[in-house]
């Protein structure tokens, strides 16, 4: 299965740390101006839906973490950081 986002597990961890249910997070996102539901949050956490920049900014704001903390930690087998470093050094 190919995942559609890289931030789902971190969203779930942060939500748990805050003691919120998926419904709580969905409600807080709605109050911030982002249209979603409990099932939308579930799909993000399960990595079954794409997450665009706007969604990431709303999640960052509501979860009270910098956007960078929504990305996976750097580990030896985690190739996303290699890819991002390559993008930063490549000039278009």
Residue recorded with tokens 């979860």: 63
Cβ-in-10-Å burial (0-12, 13-18, 19+) of 17 comes to exposed
Q: How confident is the model at residue 78 (pLDDT cuts 50, 70, 90)?
A: low
pTM of the complete model: 0.79
The domain segmentation of the chain, as residue ranges, is: 8-89
The DSSP annotation for 49-76 comes to S---HHHHHHHHHHHTS-GGGGSPPP-T
In the predicted model, is pLDDT for residue 76 greater than 80? no
Q: Which CATH code fits 8-89?
A: 1.10.260.40
CA distance readout (Å), 8 to 22, 66, 79, 83, 89: 12, 15, 17, 19, 27
Q: Tens digit of pLDDT for each residue in 2-54? A: 899 999 999 999 999 999 999 999 999 999 999 999 999 999 999 999 999 99
Rounded mean pLDDT of 53-59? 97
pLDDT for res 83: 66
């Amino acid at each position: 299965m190919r995942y559609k986002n890289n931030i789902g597990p971190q969203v779930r961890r942060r939500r748990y740390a805050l003691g919120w249910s998926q419904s709580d997070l969905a409600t807080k996102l709605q109050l911030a101006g982002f249209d979603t539901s409990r099932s939308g949050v579930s799909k993000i956490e399960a990595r079954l839906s794409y997450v665009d920049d706007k969604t990431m900014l709303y999640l960052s704001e509501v979860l009270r973490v910098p956007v960078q903390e929504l990305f996976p930690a750097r580990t030896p087998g985690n190739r996303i950081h290699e890819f991002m470093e390559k993008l930063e050094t490549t000039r278009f």
